[in-house]
Amino acid sequence: MNEEIIDLVYIVAAVLFIVGLKFLGSPASARKGNIISSVGMAIAVIATLFTKGLNYELIIGGFVIGGVIGAVVARKVEMTSMPEMVALFNGFGGLASLFVGWSALKNEPSPELFFLATVFLSILIGGLTFTGSLLAYGKLSERISGRPFVYMGQRIVNSSILIAVVVCAVLFIQNPADQNWLYLAVGLSLLLGVMFVLPIGGADMPVVMSLLNSFSGIAAAAAGFAIGNILLIVAGSLVGASGIILTNIMCKAMNRSLSNVLFSGFGTVSTSSGPVVEQGEVKPMSADDAYYVLEAASSVVVIPGYGMAVAQAQHVVKELQELLEKNGAEVVYAIHPVAGRMPGHMNVLLAEADVPYDLLLEMDQINPRMENFDVAIIIGANDVVNPAAREVESSPIYGMPVINADQAQTVFVLKRSMASGFAGIDNPLFLKENTRMLFGDAKESISTLVSEFKS
């Protein structure tokens, strides 16, 4: 197959990527978008295999090994571990771009300035994305502490590493034959990824996940320029651009600026020393008592969080929704943009349980209606419903847009204990007069409610 035909096939694949990305913008069409994008990638891979000079033995070997590993991991991964899986995908995507850019040097006897610059960018951003994503994986899986790691002069250290990388780039471009500067840059880029994510707290992981996803796309686009592959440039640019847009959305949802994200100036969680919003006692309630309140309710809003993912409660939540609707109640779901530990985490869980998409309402849609709901059921969410974000100026999350669950007539909070959320901040919602706590496993509590309705 000649190069003109391959380029034409690449254009078709790129169009499928763009169309697929468009469909991914809506939960109702996301599956179709995923299939369209997958078809585009399959076409691109098949076309690439017709390129001259390829080592088919290595390609087939890599395909088999990677395919087996991917299939095994995909079948075993639980929905609660999906954020960690996405972090690993981002990381290995960055590592692949690093190797692609590095290997391109061997096939270019007389490299030009643009070529060297794109190679260096693919290596730098790819290495940063790899180690940064591995560290994000560790924090999300709680193999390492999710709290931010900060120390005196941290920004100075990070700036020094970045300056050293730039110096290595200049010296390498001036003398490409001496790759010692490139080796040093690889090491520094890997170190920079670690230093980039260290000061970011676990509660801010949705932001850093979006940003690392964008970085993996930018690294791929740079690698595409290095090897002259049109499709890799297009695909990398799409991922990079969509990741930046999503990062911006996440930043607004957490009341943080994009510049703070890019320069690791966020994520530190301090202890609030301001006045307590609400004083009182925790008022526990049994699931049996909660049933009587729900049985009389005409409108219910469910606010899911990471606790729902841990309990794997999405299916019994859907069952409770159907029973409430059968009883004459309106049931909707309030989805905060950063609920869970990755963008769209709650949407994915509820889609798995076949919850209708039109029942998933965003924060801006639900807050004006919150006072009209008879019951708000909070399942494992904490920081995204914390009224301290509105009421306590000294709170670390003050100014962060939250779901105003406390404004519902009655609030049920399903938690295992009174432990603080991922941000490590106490929630005065638990002490409010209209709040009742349902302690225990969320799935078991909701299953009890389901049994009560059925009987």
Active site residues per annotation: 383
Instruction: Please report which residue ranges of 24-81 form alpha helices under DSSP H.
Output: 30-48, 56-76
Nearest to 392 by CA among 429, 365, 424: 429
From CA 273, how far away is CA 388, in angstroms rounded? 12
Q: What is the DSSP string of 177-230?
A: T-THHHHHHHHHHHHHHHHHHTT--GGGHHHHHHHHHHHHHHHHHHHHHHHT-H
| Integer angstrom CA distances of residue 435 from 1, 156, 284, 295, 376 | 68, 46, 9, 17, 9
Give the amino acid at 10: Y
Residue corresponding to tokens 């496993």: 441
Dihedral, CA atoms, 11, 15, 21, 22, nearest 10 degrees?
160
Structural tokens at position 55: 């080592």
Beta strands 410-415 and 435-439 are parallel
Cα dihedral value 9, 10, 15, 21, nearest 10: 130
CA distance 399 to 320: 33
Beta strands in 321-421 (DSSP E): 330-335, 360-362, 375-379, 410-415
> Residue 300's closest CA among 275, 317, 314, 280?
317
Q: How far apart are CA 211 and CA 217, in angstroms?
A: 10
Q: How far apart are alpha carbons 71 and 21 in whole angstroms?
A: 24
DSSP tag of 405: G
Tokens of 454: 């059925």
Q: 176 CB contacts (<8 Å, ≥6 apart)?
A: 105, 111, 116
**Coil, strand or helix: which one is 335?**
strand
Give strand pairing partners of 375.
300, 410
